[in-house]
Structure 1
Amino acid sequence: MRGIISPKLEPFLLQVNKAIADAQEQGVAFSAELVRTGLNNLSGLLDIKPDIALVCDKALMLENREIPVRIYHPSPTEKLPVLLHFHGGGHMCGSVELYDPISRQLAQHSHCIVICVDYRLAPEHPYPAGIDDCQHLLTHYKEVLNGLNYNDKLYIAGDSAGGAICTTLVMNNQKSNTIKIDKQVLIYPSVDYTMSAASLEENGKGYLLEKSKISWYFEQYFKVDNLNHPLIKKASPLLGNFSSNMPETFVITGGCDPLRDEGLAYIRALKNVNVAVDHHHFADMPHAFMLLQSLVADECEKSYQLIGQFLKS
């Protein structure tokens, strides 16, 4: 069923949809530069940026490069859980800088040390480069916490493509003897690269994230001409193996999101293997609504409160 958008977002979406229609009429093609600029333009709507006691930039050092991270410690005298934050952006956009207000609010509401990572992006660095960076952080995150107070509880969180990263890491590390993810938070996650969910048709036009752009994102990410490639199915967390070793999970979905049904299917798959799942559904919210905070402040605040409750419980 096609979602009915919140009246708060109607003027904004009218502007967005006019811009999309104008670009199509002028024959403007998608490009990495264009979509990155478009996402970064939303930064003006992220107007809540709480002070965190300690914020510092560090890097995980590899032989020939480094993986930049930003650390947020809300209470440096306390040993707190660690939350690895993987930003969204279709595996092509987004950054620690853009997501700084969100990382700060996650640290504030969850009372966790948040580590946000600038993983490599497509098309310059296609799959699995970004996943490899995030796996390296998952394995070696304690290296950037030298001298800081933390405990052994480990959580992960991500929105959209960041949710895809979370669920991929969970899928790939179920049998690990050295990595234990205690909880994961998924915000309108992307979990099925085959694009077979009904909500892609129902909500795939007019609600900020359009089906045609999703398909293009995935083609750049996987360097394939179409989404029938065997790699697409293999990489989709929803189509992987599920087990009771997976972490307790909290999922946020939106009724006007083309990815809505993927999130709901992931919840069902977890429940089928007896993994505890909490879920909150915003019936009138689109994809990426947490990047629109000044327009939907109540919904964003509710999301952060629920995430905080889940991680503290």
Structure 2
Amino acid sequence: MNIAVMVNLRARRGSERIGSMVQRFFPRARLALTRSLEEARTWISEQLRPNPPTLLLAGGGDGTITGLLNELREQGVALPAIGVLPLGTGNAWARVTGAPKPFVALRQLAACGERLPPLRPFSLVRVEGKVSPFAGTGWDAETIQDFKNYISRFPPGPLREASGGLRGYMGALFTGVIPRHTFGPGNPNVKVYNLGAPALTVDPGGSLMPLPNGGTGALLYEGPAGVAGAATTTEWGFGFKAFPFAHAVPNRLSVRVYGAGALEATRNMFKLWRGHHPLPKMHDFFVERLRMDFDREVPFQMGGDLMGMRRSLEFDLAQESVQLVDWRQLGRIFAA
């Protein structure tokens, strides 16, 4: 099997030790230990574009995987099967596919010999020519920046590591986002327009149904938005099921707009985390393409990486999809 492996050394758990594990299990693999997008770009250009791999293992978080996908697309490399090694912070795609710890993952892959492991297809969200498993605006994007500011207070070492996971995100949320929205201007307002085929939604029981007056060009929602985004996967990381219906409709984006204020969201935090439905002021749409227009600039993130401020955004379903290693199924085969 033609395998290439990239490990992001700047990811939370990225290290040269992971590279040593790779070499132990796959001595012929093309391995890159990178510290920047430029290093990854050069490796793709020199090593992968002339001879695209059958399987690409990516060690990092969702931002690493998203950046890798987009760099492959920009360089005209056909997307190979991708195995996500959970070395980041939130690790949404790794969790959805059931990725084990890197040593276990590599051992199970090595047991496949020359055969590809079980794969699971995922569609992709496209915004401004880039693709990602999820993208959005609002509290999630603000929390990413607050999280970076929060952990920067700690010197490199064990204390920063201990503060870099879920604890750090919760710290950023409760010391930054919630107070800012509680005592500040509150949520922006958004207008959400359907630009594709007639939209679908879910009823209170979770069953799919056509959205009344949801045809092409329709205004699907107008009002406050604490969070507004689109996804093709259920999670945002840490097990937070932000898009519980993401896999309900093939070839559609799952779009959610949450119109509650910060204090109400805090009271409903555990329901939000579990993807509880129905939830007051939560609006679900399934579309091919849509536009969001905000009444002020809002922070925007793709795959957990901040992309800056936006006043208007168009989301659509990317033409290409990606095949991810289904670690959960591979684990069952390995156990049998």
TM score, norm. by length of structure 1 = 0.28
TM score, norm. by length of structure 2 = 0.26
* Higher strand residue share: 2
Structure with greater Cα Rg: 2
